[in-house]
Chain A
């Protein structure tokens, strides 16, 4: 019986190294590639006909497009239009990563803090650059809201700074923790099914329910990751 953490193990499929840095092609990289291929295939093959009246596949691709476009428009406004390809790629990449993880014996690359944190850091740095490019030094006002009494600066500014810098952590840890815990839970409860004989139907029923829940969480966490990105973008463009 494999341990509940074994599913997160990263196994190199092809050893690679550049300048002493290990860049082996691993099972994690393989599933990233699978996710990217599926997203690209879905978005291009579905739209191949580009029909005026869409069929089911084209309709689905359009729904994804409009879903992310509306999310961006509602949260950032028209100024966010430039970042739509990035936000869309982010959403689809995380969504497919989460959902592919639901396939037994697959690998969930979004359950790794290195991946979620790297993406969060790119978003954080990118958003900060956008903020300074649009507002210059005025962007420092982010740390002290307009209209707050000067006397509160001692408390407010440290709080705002901590809150600002905790963004990539909250973004990264939320996704990583949700994916990891869900998969551990599935594995542990799944382990009970075979161990307790006929009473295994109980954990099996529970497992079925949790599987449905995990599909929901897979989609929801992709949504949360993306919408938080949109909110950070909004702050950078419009400042609070």
Chain B
């Protein structure tokens, strides 16, 4: 078996050490640091991007929270405005209603007064007319001239009954 031919051992071992030694140097000094650096850089890039994404997400969350707070504030402000406006409107309406009611009641009382005046006037007119009528009728019927005063008294007695 050529494997056990001791005369070839020295050359095999010599070249093994030479080639392995050079390969070791090349790996240790050139190849492996490069691979390690690339892997490290990739790892770092991924970490950085993850960090950036996390920061952006935080920003977004903050913006959403701010927006929601603003929305809630606006909503409560609007509700407050509506409440104030409706209260004002209700107060105005109540005041107007009261004013109208006052006007109406004044008109009613004025009207009642004028009706009463008109009635009084009408009544006096009727009494005068009745006294004149009675005086003329008395003169025509019995030829007696009745004093207007007497006739008025008589009428007022009858009307007053």
**B1 adjacent to A40 (CB under 8 Å):** no
**One of A107-115, A190-198, A225-233 contacting the partner:** A107-115
B32 contacts A114, C-beta separation under 8 Å: no
Query: Quick one: which of A35, A84, A109 contacts B32, CB cutoff 8 A?
Result: A84
**B-contact bits for A1-39, CB 8 A (1 contact / 0 none):** 000010011101000100001111110110011011001
Q: B151: shortest Cβ distance to chain A, in Å?
A: 133
- Least CB separation from B39: chain A residue: A62
In the bound complex, residues from chain A placing their C-beta under 8 Å from that of B37 are 50
Secondary structure of the A side of the interface? helix
Contacting residues, chain B, for A111 (C-beta < 8 A): 3
Q: Shortest beta-carbon distance, B42 to chain A, in Å?
A: 6
**B1 to chain A: which residues have CB within 8 Å?**
5, 8
Check A188 for interface membership: any CB of B closer than 8 A: no
Task: Write the nearest CB–CB distance from B47 to chain A, whole angstroms.
Answer: 13
CB contacts between A and B, total, < 8 Å: 131
Contact among B5, B19, B28 with A85 in the assembled complex (CB-CB below 8 Å): B28
Q: Which of A29, A47, A180 lies in contact with B38, CB distance below 8 A? A: A47
- Shortest Cβ gap from A26 to chain B (Å): 6
For B, the interface residue count at a CB cutoff of 8 angstroms equals 36
With A8-B3, A40-B26 known as contacts, the answer to whether A26 contacts B32 (CB < 8 A) is: no
In the complex, what residues of B have CB within 8 A of residue A22's CB? 7, 10-11
- Complexed CA–CA distance, A119 and B24 (Å): 13
- Rounded to whole Å, the gap between the CB of B65 and the closest CB of chain A is 35
- Chain B residues contacting A113 (CB-CB under 8 Å) are 3-4
A124 an interface residue at 8 Å Cβ cutoff? no
Question: With A and B bound together, what is the CA distance between A29 and B15 in angstroms?
Answer: 6
Decide if A143 is an interface residue (CB 8 Å cutoff): no
How close is A105's CB to chain B, nearest CB, in angstroms? 16
Q: CB within 8 A of A23: which of B10, B26, B30, B32?
A: B10
Residues of A within 8 A of B38 (CB): 47, 50-52, 54, 58, 62
Between-chain CB contacts (< 8 Å), 7 pairs: A8-B3, A26-B15, A32-B19, A40-B27, A50-B34, A65-B36, A114-B8
- 7 more CB-based (< 8 A) A-B contacts, given A21-B10, A40-B26, A43-B35: A5-B2, A10-B11, A32-B16, A32-B20, A92-B23, A112-B12, A118-B16
10 cross-chain pairs, A with B, having the tightest CB-CB distances, nearest first: A29-B15, A85-B28, A43-B31, A32-B19, A36-B23, A23-B14, A8-B2, A114-B9, A114-B12, A10-B8
